[in-house]
Structure 1
Amino acid sequence: MFSAFANSLKIPELRSRILYTLSLLFIARVGAHIPLPGIDPKSLELFFKAQTAAGGGSLMGLYNMFTGGALTKGAVCALGIMPYISASIIFQLLTAVVPALSRLQQEGDVGRQKLTQYTRYATVIICLIQGVLLIRALQNPAILFPGYDVNLYGQIVVASKWTFLVFSTIYMTAGTMLLMWLGEQITQRGIGNGVSLLITIGILADLPGAAMATYQLFFAPIGVARLGLPQGIMMVTLFLVVTMGIILVTQGQRKIPVQYAKRVVGQKVYGGQSSFLPLKVNYSGVMPVIFASAILLFPQQILQYAGAAFNMPFLIEFSHNLVHGQWPYYLLMTLLILFFSYFWVSVMFKPIQIADDLKKYGGYIPGVRPGEPTASFLDFIMTRLTLAGAIFLTVIAIIPDILLFAWNVPPRVAYFFGGTGMLITVGVILDTMRQIETFLLQRHYDGFLKKGRIRGRSTASTVALGEAASDKAVMQLTTVMVVILAIGLIAWAVRHFAL
């Protein structure tokens, strides 16, 4: 594996793509540390730490993970790349149900460019809406977060109310559009999927803090509760098992054999070969977990507000059961993951279209008649696979809560043992390694594995790569990023040792 990484720097085009990708990811991380004008980052960070320690703030914690910590810093990229992802998901679903958008998608590159442009416009609208809501929440935190004490945490917004609202919304919208452009550039001229890499690098940004928190769990001062060697062995074993399980299920496929009939055209015989149709075990990916986690946050807040407004204590008591650590929460989480898994498959997986394509090209599944019986067979197989994938997603989503409430493991440590972040990180790393391995094999180098190859999660997700940036431009960009990094490290060292 280490020789594969060394060989990747020997290929000029691959080296250029890797350095270009790292430089743009560095720019994204810089944007996550530039605070908005008129905001006090210390008060905001203090409040989120208190929310996390109290076991609350699950909505903000989930969103902050996707922004790479930019939300807790009140940065210009506080909205992250999530508005663009939300717009992309909306148009993917609309493409499956709106005939006009479906025809537009089938028009080739021109139609896809129009859909991309519509997605960008929708991203701007979502950014403006979310930006206004976030700024209003920061200006009046007690409305969104009951129990917020200005005397304890301090005032978050120190600028004029309406001026801060207008300019900060513009800044955060511009930050999201910058991240969207960086993601598209990485996808075309770099290596890997740019948007996915931006999310992954934000999740991994908390890795040093999680490592320090893990160290403190086992080497706490005398008199403070700490974990012992058996718990440490169990945590390492659990981490390895969860990682292997995610890889197996993410890469897992059910191969449906397909046989093509022979055709005689003149003096040549076409067809007759055997192939297979890959059906993924986890077809919907991480989307059901994201949707279920987001939806579960609203009933709890609505019931709590309704109970306080109409003086109904039983609503407030029931809302307390819809939080992490309570069995009604996990029951609803399981049901929602099952629902969204099947919903995503029903929208994206088209067994009738696949059966028609097989029939058109003379293919058939042995033992199954072409046409409608083939579609019914594929639908039956996919239904069983989706159930297995949904159960797996539920187990992975609950593992961090088990560590959090059973062993009192800090949240930033527990989230690296499963959950949404772990699913995204493993999947994106596998996809990126697959692209690098493709370049290596094309240049007759060994891949990451001595035997076999890293198989992609989906051949349909492969994006045509654009031309790589020139070596001169990449080196200039890399040099500027290295200089900025050096200045940042020196400034941090001076401030740290001065204190």
Structure 2
Amino acid sequence: MFKTLKNAWSVPELRKKIIFTLWMFALIRIGAHIPVPGINPDAVQQMLGANSNNMLGLMNAITGGAFSQMALFAFGVGPYITASIIIQLLTIAITRLEEISKEGEDGRKKINKYTRYLTLVIAMMQSGATTLMLYRSNVLVEKSVIVFALAFISFIAGSMLVMWIGEQITQKGIGNGISLIIFINIVSRLPQAATSLLAYDNYVKVAILLLFFIVIIGFTVAMSLGERRISVQYAKRVAGRKVYGGQSQNIPIKVNLAGVLPVIFAMSLIQFPEIITGLFVKNPSEFWATAIEWLRWTHPFGGTLYVILIFAFAFFYSTIAFNPIDIASNLKKGGGFIPGIRPGKPTSEYLSKVATHITLMGAIFLAILALTPLLLGAIFSMPIQFGGTSLLIVVGVALETIKQLESQMLMRHYKGFL
């Protein structure tokens, strides 16, 4: 990885892109420390608490601590990611959006425009709910319409600015801007996590925990790069004096096809009742308070439900990202076939069976990573701030960015056959 970065720095064009990306990183981190006007930071810390094993903790991780400070970039890329997922699902459900997405560059621009509009709507909803929560929790310095509106507008402006920075990184920098913003925000929390870890007197536990951490990193890298390759053979066909086909190719199916989305969706759903209760209910009943306690992932029932939801979302997203029927149809049209499998329906059934097995392994991997902070915290009797979800995001973004750098260097150093 470091060799790739060194070689990329020696290319003037890539060096400019890297420098631009670093400047955008600096801007992101500055915005994460600019407080929203009208908010008492000390009251925010008391309200959110120090618990990092919930949705608020994950939100704080992907925003680099901006959410816990209620800074300008408190929501980070959250609204944009939510909007992108909704548009992606609507593209499958709505025929017109599917047609637009297949119109090439113009279709991609239209889809991006719809995503931006939806990002604004989601940012307004999240900003309104958060500002209302701060208002009800006496976190605002003054309970007035002006202070409420100022905080509300600041949250929206910060979310849209983060979206713009992400798009600029994608166009003028290196890698996917939105993913890199999440990456730098999570990495920025590492010094704080390391400091709190070294503060413990039991150095044996710390050493064992670091060893576990290294093993988990290796496991995450292996699972992120792991894929099942299905061999495909193309029949030879003669057109005039030329012979086409006859070559062998592969259909790669990634083990972790859904990425980190199932974990985020599962945690969002399981924490939704608690968040809504905190927004609109001051004194919940004893039954409802007990139900919320059971739904927390630190409770055995909530932890079991959390794992079930991870499996459900992993299989749901895999059916969207991988369509065996379309692949089998395209193979049949192109004269391709899987050795030992008949074209058409038998091929789609075979691909579906393989994808199910691969998705099951990916879901088990995600469940292990998601429960890692809780398990390690219980074993070593210390809070683990850097969770498996954050680790999966960091590893995935780092690997993808290095691949893009290598592909760009390959294009610039390729001499051809002349």
The whole-number CA distance in structure 2 between the counterparts of 1:361 and 1:165 is 60
Does the Cα contact within 8 Å between 1:307 and 1:316 map onto a contact in 2?
no
- Contact 1:293/1:333 (<8 A) preserved: yes
Pairwise CA distance, 1:303:
8.4
Give the Å deviation of 1:323: 1.8
Q: Say if 1:175 and 1:314 are closer, same or farther in 2 by CA, change over 3 A.
A: closer
Pairing of 1:407-422 with structure 2 (within 5 A): 407-412=380-385, 415=386, 418-422=387-391
Q: Deviations over 1:443-475 (max 9, x none)?
A: 449xxxxxxxxxxxxxxxxxxxxxxxxxxxxxx
Selected match of 2:266 from 283, 292, 312: 292
Are the aligned partners of 1:87 and 1:123 in contact in 2 as well (CA < 8 Å)? yes
Please state how far the C-alpha of 1:240 moved relative to its aligned partner.
1.4
| TM-aligned CA deviation for residue 367 of structure 1 | 0.7
Who is 1:227 aligned against?
A: 202
User: Counterpart of 1:434 in 2: which secondary structure?
Assistant: helix
2:362 maps to 1:389: yes
Alpha-carbon spacing, 1:406–1:24, altered in 2? closer, same or farther (3 Å): same
1:161 to 134, 137, 144: 144
2:68 — aligned with what? Answer: 72
5+ residue gaps, structure 2, are none
User: Please, which of 257, 267, 275 is the counterpart of residue 283 of structure 1?
Assistant: 257
Superposed CA deviations along residues 230-255 of structure 1, whole A, max 9, x for unmatched, are x2332122111111111111111100
What's the counterpart of residue 107 of structure 1? 103
Residue 129 of structure 1 corresponds to which residue in structure 2?
125
The residue number in structure 2 matching 1:328 is 301
* Equivalent residue number for residue 32 of structure 1: 32
Aligned mates of 2:336, 2:119 — CA distance in 1: 41
RMSD after superposition: 2.1
For 2:315, give the aligned amino acid: Y
Equivalence for 1:362: 335
Structure 1 residue 267 displacement after superposition? 1.1
Aligned to 2:80: 84
The residue type paired with residue 332 of structure 1 is L
Kept in 2, the 8 Å contact 1:67–1:77? The answer is yes
**1:434 alignment counterpart:** 403
Counterpart amino acid of residue 346 in structure 1: T
Q: CA 1:300–1:38 in 2, change beyond 3 Å: closer, same or farther?
A: closer
Equivalent position of 1:458 in the other structure:
none
Paired AA for residue 264 in structure 2: I
* Equivalent residue for 2:90, pick from 88, 94, 115: 94
Match for 1:353 among 307, 326, 334?
326
1:409 deviates by 2.1
CA deviations 1:63-102 (Å, max 9, x no partner) are 1112211112221111211001000000001111111111
Q: Is the 8 A contact 1:254 1:279 kept in 2?
A: yes
- What is the aligned partner in structure 2 of residue 242 from structure 1? 216
CA distance in structure 2 between the aligned counterparts of 1:57 and 1:245, rounded to whole angstroms: 22
Partner residue of 1:149?
Answer: none
Give the SS at the match of 2:165.
helix
Alignment of 1:369-380 (within 5 A): 369-380=342-353
Map of 1:404 onto structure 2: 377
Query: Matched residues in 1 for 2:175 and 2:277: separation?
Result: 43
1:93-115 CA-to-partner distances (Å, cap 9, x unmatched) read 11111111111111111111111
Amino acid at match of 1:103: E
The SS at the match of 1:34 is coil
Alignment check: 8 A CA contact 1:213 1:410 kept:
no
Shift of 1:46: 4.4
2:142, 2:219 → 1: CA distance?
Answer: 49
TM-score by length of 1: 0.79
Q: Which runs of 5+ in 1 are unaligned?
A: 142-154, 218-225, 446-499
Aligned residue number for residue 292 of structure 2: 319
Residue 208 of structure 1 pairs with residue 191 of structure 2: yes
Q: Cα deviations across residues 299-330 of structure 1 (Å, max 9, x unaligned)?
A: 45678999965x5x444334322224321111
> What is the one-letter code of the residue matched to 2:326?
Q
- Aligned with residue 185 of structure 1, among 156, 168, 181: 168
Do the aligned partners of residues 334 and 324 (structure 1) sit closer, same or farther apart at CA in structure 2, a change above 3 Å counting? closer
Distance 1:121 1:258, change over 3 A: same
1:334, distance to aligned residue in structure 2 (A): 1.1
1:466 maps to which residue? none
**Contact residue 303 and residue 316 of structure 1 kept, 8 A:** no
Is contact 1:307–1:315 with CA below 8 Å preserved after alignment? no
| Identity within the alignment, % | 41
For residues 110 and 442 of structure 1, the distance between their equivalents in structure 2, rounded to whole angstroms, comes to: 26
Shift of 1:405: 2.8
Distance in structure 1 (CA, Å) of the matches to 2:63 and 2:112: 22
Q: Distance in 2 between matches of 1:377 and 1:56?
A: 42
Cα distance in 2 between the residues matched to 1:322 and 1:160: 33
Q: Distance in 2 between matches of 1:70 and 1:406?
A: 30
1:243 to 1:67, Cα distance in 2 relative to 1, 3 A: same
| 1:354-378 residue CA offsets vs partner (Å, 9 max, x unmatched) | 1111111111101111111111111
Aligned counterparts of 2:19 and 2:164: Cα–Cα separation in 1: 17
**Equivalent residue letter for 1:203:** I
1:408 is displaced (CA, Å) by 2.5
Partner of 1:16: 16
**Counterpart amino acid of 1:120?**
R
Deviations 1:201-259 (A, max 9, x none): 11111111111111102xxxxxxxx3232x23321221111111111111111000000
Distance 1:112 1:32, change over 3 A: same
Alignment partners' CA distance in 2, 1:429 and 1:179: 20
What TM-score does the superposition give when structure 2 sets the normalisation length? 0.93
Q: What CA distance in whole angstroms lies between the structure 2 residues aligned with 1:127 and 1:319?
A: 26
The question of whether the paired residues in 1 share the 8 Å contact of 2:197 and 2:206 is answered with no
Counterpart in the other structure of 2:229: 255
